[in-house]
Copies of this chain bind each other. A is one copy, B any other.
């Protein structure tokens, strides 16, 4: 792994429900976050950080925005699961699909998309290029650290991808947000992962009116 000492693999602004779900069930084109999944992100949508990219440029400041903003700082590359990039499964059928985000996605860095199916890179506006990695999470991480040129790498999700990196103790720092909702089913971040035994600790807790922000760090 060509991770420089100063480089971290980070998860940020990752919202879960009270019962531990990071996405609702039945993800689809209509419900990219799964059924009721938008309830996880009510803390995020009003923030200035979100509104600058996707809204009218205004938006709230304060605790929620501070965390949202910090999640984009010093990030040199992203890693996403296939399902974060596209609603489709299996071989790529539609080369016109370039993600959910329009011509200028909110990443502005190289983005490594984990998939089982090869596809040529897509150069977008604003500095985002999507690379498709078929050699697994270690290969994606190595490419991302290289591409980040000394900066950190952020894993955007989904739950399944974050779980894979956690199980290998590759994530250095995780900012979780507990939103006050019960999803009941979907993709659970914690099921059958013993984060404590893996060496993860909660090192910070900050509460806003909308959510509970937690910092999880690897102790070794």
Using CB atoms and an 8 Å cutoff, list the residues of chain A in contact with chain B. 18-20, 36, 176, 178, 180-185, 190-191, 194-198, 200-202, 205, 207-208, 212, 214, 216
Known contacts A20-B190, A180-B214, A207-B212; is-contact A185 B197 (Cβ 8 Å): yes
Contacting residues, chain B, for A201 (C-beta < 8 A):
182
CB <8 Å contact, B214 and A18 = yes
CB <8 Å contact, B197 and A18 = no
CB <8 Å contact, B20 and A176 = no
Contacting residues, chain B, for A214 (C-beta < 8 A):
18, 180
CB <8 Å contact, A18 and B176 = yes
**Interface hub of A180, A191, A201 (most chain B Cβ within 10 A):** A180
A183 (CB) vs chain B CBs: closest residue: B196
A202 (CB) vs chain B CBs: closest residue: B180
CB <8 Å contact, B202 and A18 = yes
Q: Provide the bound-state CA to CA distance between A202 and B200, in Å.
A: 28
CB <8 Å contact, A184 and B202 = no
CB <8 Å contact, A184 and B212 = no
A24 (CB) vs chain B CBs: closest residue: B196
A206 (CB) vs chain B CBs: closest residue: B207
Known contacts A191-B191, A207-B207; is-contact A216 B20 (Cβ 8 Å): no
A195 (CB) vs chain B CBs: closest residue: B182
CB <8 Å contact, A182 and B196 = yes
Contact of A19 among B36, B183, B195, B205 (CB under 8 A): B195
Q: Provide the bound-state CA to CA distance between A51 and B49, in Å.
A: 44
